[in-house]
Amino acid sequence: MKKSKRSLTRIFTALLLLMGFSLTGFAQNVVTGKVTNSKDGEPIRGVTVSVKGTKTSTQTDIQGTYKISVPQSNSVLIFTSVGFSSVQVPADAAGNVKMVEELKQLSDVVVVGYGTQRKREVTGAITRVSSAEVNAVAAPSFEASLQGRVAGVQVSQATGLAGAGSYVRIRGIASVSAGGDPLYVIDGIPVSADPLALESSSKSNSYLLRSGFTQSPLASINPEDIESIDILKDAGAAGIYGSRGANGVILITTKRGKLGKPRFNFSTKIGFTQPSVKPKLLNTEEWLQVRQEGWENDGHTGPAPLPGGISWADAQKVNTNWFDELTHTGVMQDYNLSMNYGKNKFRSFIGGTYGNDESYAIGNKFTRGSVRGNFDYTFSEKFKASLTSSYNKGLNYRVPAGWAGGIGAAMGEALPFYPVYKPDGTYSTAQANPLVPIKENKFRSDDNRVLGGLTLSYLPIQNLEIKATGNLDNYKNLTDRYNNNKIYNASSFNSAERWKTDITNYNFSATATYNKTINADNKLTFLLGGEYQKSQTKVLHYYRSDSSVNTSFYDNKSLLDKATIDYVNNYPNISHKDSMLADQWSFISYFTRINYNYKGKFFAQALARVDGSSKFGPNNKYGFFPAVSLGYILSEEPFFKSSLPFFNYFKLRTSYGITGNAAIPSFRYLDNFNASAGNGNAPYNGQGTIGQTQVANPDLKWETANNFDAGVEFGLFKNRVTGDISYYNKLSKDVLMNIGLEEGYGIGGSTIYQNVGKVRNEGVEVALNFKAIQQKDLRLNFFINTAHNTNVVLDAGGYAPDAIQSGTNETRVLVGYPLGTSYSIIYKGVDPTDGLPMWLDKDGKITKVFPDVSTSRRPAGKLIPDWTGGFGGNLFYKGFELNTLFAFSTGLDIWDNSGKNQFLGASSGQNWNIRREFLDRWTKPGDQTLYPRFTYDLYPGVGNPSLFSSNMFLYNADYLRLRELTVAYNFKSDALRKIKIENIRVFLTGTNLFLWTKYKGGDPEVNRDADGGTADRNMSPNVTYLTAPQAKTIQFGLNVNF
């Protein structure tokens, strides 16, 4: 019995020991750790962790952590992730693992809207622009730096004046009366970027705010704060933004803190700017000759009369070059200082900038000051908070331009025999003197912008991340004008005027992202979210003109107090502190996105968004915007590798989806009535009346764009050649058009927004990169991108060209033609017998009497380019660096709306200076010339010079310009490191140094001030009216990291 007990005891003890060893072994075979990027210490999500020789695997979560069971302690773990070199580590030595990036362009993380994706996994059309590229050129605003860098993105600056806006179109233009600009999102915050937004504060005199050029509301944002810009072009990428994605989306990501000790960056630029071209105008002797010639051509005898009663003798004593009088060499200077710091839990980026950039126009400069603080704090492995904040201030000291005077007047009404000064040294004001308002008046625009956002991230369970974000974009503008009227008339009163605009955008969103690893080959990512945005615009307008006005409101606070009292008296029911509500709108949205990854080579994405908007009628408050996209990396297939071994990367992608455009004024779906105001609704028999000013349209809704995209991305010869080729077809339906109401409505001059148009944009984009030489001390790279776009109007709702509000220029909506087609009288040359111009009448017959514009206009040219793009290269030799960028645009015309006035400059009703190219005119029978004879009394049928519009002033606007030329040297040495300096970069950069074009009227890169509002901006992208040329700059720079 004792023996049996002893045997049982031994067996029980052995079992306990065996169980103990088993439990110990089991505990030892559970491996946990974290996977990070060796470059910056950032956690890597989605890394596959597998046990070698088995089917056991797992995936790292959002924090880069993993947990896996291994069968035995000597097992080997394999870590694999797209874009990183695989790592094999013994299980008992695994723990935390660092992975090295393998192919940068494929491992780059791009922003896709409410998240990020690795470039390799992206199924939409997205192009990234780096911080270095954004800051490579001198530009009034950061969006202008995109010119020539991205295929399918057309960028043109309005002018070369400080703070001027840019025209940006992604894959063509489809809108007429709705905004055509892309949606700008900065760190997840949709921001106010409408260059026409300030006009809501100016009411009927909005032209005073522009004064010949439109300023950019983005100009105050510091380009040095930008880490990268991602441009979403197709529905697969932009579809997640639903009703605001039809024009493409530009996502701006600012710099954030990175792991490591405090690192500082200081940079400065000092440079000089001049006009890219100077107008070639007649001098006094030439103008007088032309005046006399036109006088005699019309049968007059004796000396021709001169404007203002000036005698020929006095005129011949003066020869003023007005363009030179109003321009100089502007000085530009910018300073930036930033700090980057990060520990395990806390990371920060803090930066500040100051810039003072004069343009070549005397009196015009833009000063920028900004501070930024971006902070990230990880409270635990489950909870993280991110704060984004910036304050940007921009002061634009403006000058009149274009039609408003200044440089525009120097090319127009300011004749060369008009003096600048009187004999006593005071200003000459008897005739046009564009220098006087620049020197004596004050015109300043003060931008103040606060951008802030707080994001809270929580991981309740593994692979599930919940985010809640609140954002604020507050844009305040004060535009002040002071006019010294006494200089013209001593008995006049001076005037001061202020427009105050306050635009506040609130944005709240919540998302849930879940990563599901089905097995080692199949992975899913789910996104579910909701968003609410509200925007409110408040305005104030102050005006005062009396004996007390001697300066601007910003220089005289007591004067502003008096104007405030005037305002309160005029609007007794409105507090001046609250301002007038000029506009407000809101969006509520729900969206989802599902991504599927099969073996890291096949990718599928489906997304959908529902948007509700206050801008649209009760019958169409909500819209549904779905999209699907696919990507397939063929180069991962064995058959592809064996048959095409020189391809190390080859990816096919395609997408189809619906996006929308909601950029129209609010409340256009409602009836509108005004009391005793406008349209003849004056008081009747002493009693107030109410009159209708707007007709309701309850069916008003957003434009929709049906987008198809197909592309191929590739890498050849170990990625010595990489590229991206895309085809797109975008059919825009229910295009919003502002239609003039028929007289039967009884509302004279009123319009109604209707969804009646259909427009197609179809094109091809090509981007190629070549690594010609890749050695230790020598690297040589080339790149080229280009895009061809075909635009055609398919339907205009049956409306005649003049019924659709198309702006102030000679462009109209014509079925079968591109948007922005010039619609004018056709010029057929010069009759060599008498020098008179010849035209086509309404029947297509040649006539020498200027035809009736209501019946004889025809499509004459288009203002949208066939091809746009850029090319250049980079050379690196040891510390030396050379960068070039050329930008080009071909296949478009420029409508010179001021050319008719310059050509008729010697006529009695015009009295403008004349471009030298117009000297190619008829002078005697038999002459074969480009232009007709000069006239004093105007040509037969031309009753007014302003009506002398024809394709005579439509020109080839093709151009090629050297956008950037940079020479730099990078200093890196042990000596610098000893004094805690990592590197120093010195550089010399030229912007717009050379221009090649056939256009003789100046710089063909123009974008008129949109005098006719949104329609002008969409329909007349290449129209000039005395537009100031682009700026040519040279900058010296220094960049120090320490």
Model pLDDT for residues 143-195, shown as the tens digit of each residue = 999 999 999 999 998 899 998 888 899 999 999 999 899 999 999 989 888 77
Q: Is the same domain home to 92 and 162?
A: no
Identify the domain containing residue 92 by its residue range: 26-102
The predicted-structure confidence for 449-468, as pLDDT tens digits, reads as follows: 999 999 999 999 999 999 99
The reply to whether 269 falls in a domain is yes
How many CA atoms are closer than 13 Å to the CA of 882, on its beta-carbon side?
A: 9
pLDDT for the residue 571: 58
The reply to whether 401 falls in a domain is yes
Name the pLDDT band for 356 (thresholds 50, 70, 90): very high
The reply to whether 467 falls in a domain is yes
The reply to whether 348 falls in a domain is yes
The reply to whether 289 falls in a domain is no
End position of a domain, from candidates 102, 133, 155? 102
How many CA atoms are closer than 13 Å to the CA of 78, on its beta-carbon side?
A: 11
pLDDT for the residue 105: 52
Interacting residues of 272 by C-beta distance below 8 A, sequence separation 6+: 329, 330, 331, 332, 1033, 1034, 1035
Q: Is the same domain home to 76 and 169?
A: no
Q: Is the same domain home to 496 and 637?
A: yes
Look up the CATH number of the domain holding residue 428.
2.40.170.20
Residue that wins the pLDDT comparison between 308 and 327: 327
Distance CA 933, CA 837 (A): 8
The reply to whether 909 falls in a domain is no
718-738: average pLDDT: 95
Q: Is the same domain home to 96 and 206?
A: no
Q: Is the same domain home to 157 and 98?
A: no
pLDDT for the residue 1031: 96
The reply to whether 286 falls in a domain is no
pLDDT for the residue 940: 94
End position of a domain, from candidates 75, 102, 129? 102
Name the helix (H) or strand (E) containing 449: strand 442-458
Q: Is the same domain home to 147 and 59?
A: no
Q: What is the pTM of this model?
A: 0.88
1003-1015: average pLDDT: 80
Name the pLDDT band for 744 (thresholds 50, 70, 90): low
Reduce the DSSP state of residue 297 to 3 states and report it.
helix
> DSSP character for 913?
-
Largest interatomic CA distance in the chain: 151
pLDDT for the residue 72: 78
> How many domains does the chain fold into?
2
Q: Residue 373 corresponds to which amino acid?
A: G
Q: Is 666 left (phi over 0), alpha (psi -120 to 50) or beta?
A: beta
Q: Is the same domain home to 157 and 75?
A: no
Q: Is the same domain home to 626 and 705?
A: yes
Look up the CATH number of the domain holding residue 80.
2.60.40.1120
Name the pLDDT band for 902 (thresholds 50, 70, 90): very high
No. of helices (H) and no. of strands (E), the chain: 16, 50
pLDDT for the residue 756: 94
Radius of gyration of the chain (CA): 33
Euclidean distance between the first and the last CA atom of the chain, given in angstroms as a whole number: 84
Q: Residue 926 corresponds to which amino acid?
A: G
User: Whole-number mean pLDDT of the chain?
Assistant: 89
Interacting residues of 997 by C-beta distance below 8 A, sequence separation 6+: 957, 958, 959, 960, 1003, 1004
Name the helix (H) or strand (E) containing 735: strand 721-740
Residue that wins the pLDDT comparison between 477 and 194: 477
Residue that wins the pLDDT comparison between 197 and 606: 606
Percent of the chain topping pLDDT 90: 65
Q: 744: how many CB neighbours lie within 10 A of its CB?
A: 6
Q: Is the same domain home to 88 and 154?
A: no
pLDDT for the residue 25: 38
Q: Is the same domain home to 96 and 192?
A: no
254-270: average pLDDT: 92
Q: Is the same domain home to 651 and 797?
A: yes
The reply to whether 873 falls in a domain is yes
142 and 221 Cβ atoms separated by less than 8 Å: yes
Q: Is the same domain home to 464 and 600?
A: yes
End position of a domain, from candidates 102, 131, 164? 102
